[in-house]
Amino acid sequence: MSGRLEVMKTYKLYINGAFPRTESGRSYEITSNKGEFLANACLASRKDLRDAVVAARAAQPGWAKATAYNRGQILYRIAEMLEGRSDQFAQEISLQTGASAKESLQEVSDSVDLLVWYAGWSDKLPSLAGSTNPVSGPFYNFTVPEALGVVGAIAPIDKPLLGFVAAIAPILVSGNTAVALASSTAPLSAISFAEVVATSDLPNGVLNILSGQQNELAPWFASHMDIDGLDISGLPVDQHGAIKEAGVENLKRISAFTKSSEPGRILAFMEAKTVWHPIGN
């Protein structure tokens, strides 16, 4: 008798709360940092991106309408689910990047903490970024921050989990929906993260995850007229200019960040809405 045949996981995309294969039928090999085969991942095409944007657009009004408290709770719930699967995620990170077990476990803990950190911002944003403005007339004048809409994110190549969480958590917390491209070389953590999201009460379509090549998909993220903002922290700096140029047609907000935890990452993808209200007696 031979030993048991291991059942390998098929890594697929995450679009509208489901795990479809890419419509293109393409896949590419994910290897460890030593070149050993780990898994086949979907090589997403621009049409997968298109489908993901449709899902994100449909989900956006509902997610923005959820109370800040509720959005914070759901992000916190994602953190809870991730915490419980720390070992699995740490092992996956080590396989992909060659990081030591200790380093990988640290990355998972940092990711959980970062989710909790962003979750906490949900009900504090209006006080932080909003204001009452003095105007010369009998009016109250308020400015309140609101979600932008559908935001794309291109996650960094290294730090396959922490980099990914740092990209999507600030987008989601304010009521945006996201379409995120996982690390091209180490996408397995992001796809496994989709399993965590799927069990965390995040409504379908709020977070959509693609795996594929940056240079193939980034221009389509930039030119898509129905994506309102784009986080390009994961792209090499020398490509930022071209991407910003491609995104100019719909005045897309395109930003890149260096720190994982900063409120600026949230505010970059919010609009300011100003309301005038007459002062009564």
Partner 1 sequence: MSFYGLVDGSDSSLRNCLKQLPGVDQVGAEARAAMLATRSIKTTSKAWAIDTAISMVDLTTLEGADTPGKVQALCSKAFRPDPTDLAVPHVGAVCVYNDMVGIAREHLDSIGAQELPVAAVSTAFPSGRASMQVKLQDTEDAIVAGAAEIDMVIDRGAFLSGRLIEVFEEIVAIREVCGDRAHLKVILETGELVTLDNVRKASYLAMLAGADFIKTSTGKVAPAATAPVVLVMLEAVRDFYDLTKVRIGVKPAGGIRTTKDAIKQLVLVNETAGPEWLNPSLFRIGASALLNDLLMQRMKMSDGYYASPNYVTID
Tokens, residue 230: 């784009």
Distance of closest approach, residue 132 Cβ to partner 1, in angstroms: 30
Which is nearest to 30 in space by CA: 93, 99, 104?
A: 93
- Report the C-alpha dihedral over residues 126, 130, 135, 141, rounded to 10 degrees: -30
Residue 44 sits at the vertex; the CA angle it makes with 78 and 213, to the nearest 5 degrees, is: 95
Tokens, residue 130: 């909003």
Residue among 10 and 250 whose Cβ is closer to partner 1? 250
Distance of closest approach, residue 25 Cβ to partner 1, in angstroms: 13
Interface residues toward partner 1, by CB under 8 A: 46, 50, 53, 57, 220, 223-226, 249-250
Residue among 18 and 116 whose Cβ is closer to partner 1? 18
Sorted by sequence, the CB contacts under 8 Å of residue 4 that are 6+ apart come out as none
Residue among 49 and 78 whose Cβ is closer to partner 1? 49
| Residue 91: Cβ within 10 Å count | 14
- Report the C-alpha dihedral over residues 78, 80, 84, 89, rounded to 10 degrees: 40
Residue among 156 and 247 whose Cβ is closer to partner 1? 247
Alpha-carbon span 179 to 231, nearest angstrom: 10
Do 248 and 230 contact (CB within 8 A), yes or no?
A: no
Alpha-carbon span 159 to 67, nearest angstrom: 31
Distance of closest approach, residue 36 Cβ to partner 1, in angstroms: 37
Distance of closest approach, residue 223 Cβ to partner 1, in angstroms: 4
Single-letter code of the amino acid located at 195: E
| Residue 138: Cβ within 10 Å count | 8
Distance of closest approach, residue 12 Cβ to partner 1, in angstroms: 21
Residue among 77 and 253 whose Cβ is closer to partner 1? 253
Residue among 71 and 224 whose Cβ is closer to partner 1? 224
Residue among 251 and 279 whose Cβ is closer to partner 1? 251
CA 212 from centroid of its chain's CA atoms: 15
- Environment class of residue 57 by beta-carbon count within 10 Å: exposed (0-12), middle (13-18) or buried (19+)? middle
Distance of closest approach, residue 246 Cβ to partner 1, in angstroms: 8
Distance of closest approach, residue 207 Cβ to partner 1, in angstroms: 20
